[in-house]
Amino acid sequence: MASRTTLVLDDKAREAARQLAHRYGCSLSEATRRALIRQRDVELGVPRERRQERVQALGRLFDLFADNDADAEVRRLKAEDEGF
């Protein structure tokens, strides 16, 4: 559940938040939330649940590309590009 919090930012911090918001294409509040989460992950480590999600995503990628022949794919793409 979300709760409302008021932060007092000096000019330097506010400008940093604006730059992040512009970079992320989101609101100042969302940029601040993302920055907090990223800093927490850097300082305290990624939470176990998030690590498990990443491992599962990597496993799905391995499954998707298990039978992929990279050389054949490169040859196919180069052949398609010759028409342009």
| The pLDDT of residue 60 | 95
- Indicate if the pLDDT at residue 83 is higher than 80: no
What are the pLDDT digits (tens) for 6-52? 999 999 999 999 999 999 999 999 999 999 999 998 999 888 998 99
11-45 burial, b for 16+ CB within 10 Å, e for fewer?
A: eeeeeebeebbeeeeeeeeebbeeeeeeeeeeeee
Please report whether residue 2 resides in a domain: no
**H helix runs in the chain, sequence order:** 11-24, 28-44, 48-64, 70-81
Please report whether residue 66 resides in a domain: yes
> What contacts 46, CB < 8 A, 6 or more positions away?
54
Range of the domain at 75: 48-84
What total of structural domains would you count in the chain? 2
Q: Are residues 53 and 37 in the same domain?
A: no
| The pLDDT of residue 84 | 65
pLDDT band at 56 (very low <50, low <70, confident <90, very high): very high
Q: Are residues 53 and 84 in the same domain?
A: yes
Indicate whether this model's pTM tops 0.85: no
